[in-house]
Chains A and B, each alone.
Chain A
Amino acid sequence: MPTVRFTENIQRHLACPVRQVDGNTVREVLDNYFAANERARGYVLDDQGRLRQHMAAFVDGRQVRDRAGLSDPVQPHAVVDIVQALSGG
């Protein structure tokens, strides 16, 4: 099962602990994570379900390419990192 980790900076606003959730794509993994933490969805994705402009996502260290559709594949033992981009600083 993939592991999801969040930037430390988001923890000031709401708790986003490391969790293992099912999913074969970034979208599926995040949807499953947000199912138990709905408030976090709006911190990471915008109104249209895209990765927020100043957020970045990585799968095993590789930057996610499909920021709108989040269709990048996720292997069963992958680690998904959700971080804030320096561009939004």
Chain B
Amino acid sequence: MMDYTPLIVLANFFLFPGLAFSFIVGWFSYWVFRKLRARLQARRGPPWYQPLIDLVKLFSKETIIPISAQKTYFIIAPLMALASLLLALMLIPIGFSSATVAFVGDLIVVIYLLLMFGVSTAFAGSASGSPYGAIGASRELSLILGYEVVFAAGALVPALAAKSLLLSDIVTLQTGGNWLLLKFPFGGVAVLLCMAAKLKVKPFDMPDAKQEIVAGPFTEYTGPLLGIWYLAKMLTWFVLSALYVDLFLGGGDGLIFPLNLVTFLVKCFVVVVVMTIFEVANARYRIDQAFSRYLTVVFALALIDILRFWVGSYLGWW
């Protein structure tokens, strides 16, 4: 799939695996999250088209930018978040063993691009000129300080196992059911816990804790700009679960065309379901509690597997 003619690139960006495809998968991932959460909480939950009509409503409304906001940055922030997620999608193998664009070190670039979502959230919060936004931004940044190193360390475990920073190598290594989650469960759990913070899943959703700071960084957003945030949020569900499936659950398992995509998407939904159960079973930590837990417990999990890998390579375990 290494064809870089303009038409193919555009199709990749906007159709598969870009905007159109990932929007549909993200829409259903987010809907599964909301519906399952509601059912587990003894509620009815939204119908399947709810994320779409929410978006349609937001995009048909007026944009209001507060006087106290930094106008340029206020507008740039959601676009930055969306763009970095779409770019990350180009680098993550979706079902196939190779991504649209693949080069050595693309795992590092994906980790940076995913970080951009959190950073632009903080950016939006500080630009919005609202105290809730400012506190949301500061919480987001402290949370990033807590989980980002751990996330990178956890994501490094599969890279160490494959002896490559190329995502397609990691996927190819796992063909035939050699899922890395089975070999490195601690690293897998550590990355999953960091994803909880990236997806704002409880107990790590303090940057937009509605009972404390309204909507945090998104408090002042309205209309299409809020719609872009909403879209970006839906895409993160897909992008992060796709990355997790590639790193730990064997991607498309090297199957032939329609099967690999189906397997991949089923695995993505399993990740979404796990995150939903995580959300439903927990209360929210305070920001200092979350910070210290990331840098102690979760970091320790990631380090255990890095150590296990090194010890294991000397002793010839794998």
Is chain B a partner of chain A in the same complex? Answer: no
Report A's interface with B, CB cutoff 8 A. none
Report B's interface with A, CB cutoff 8 A. none
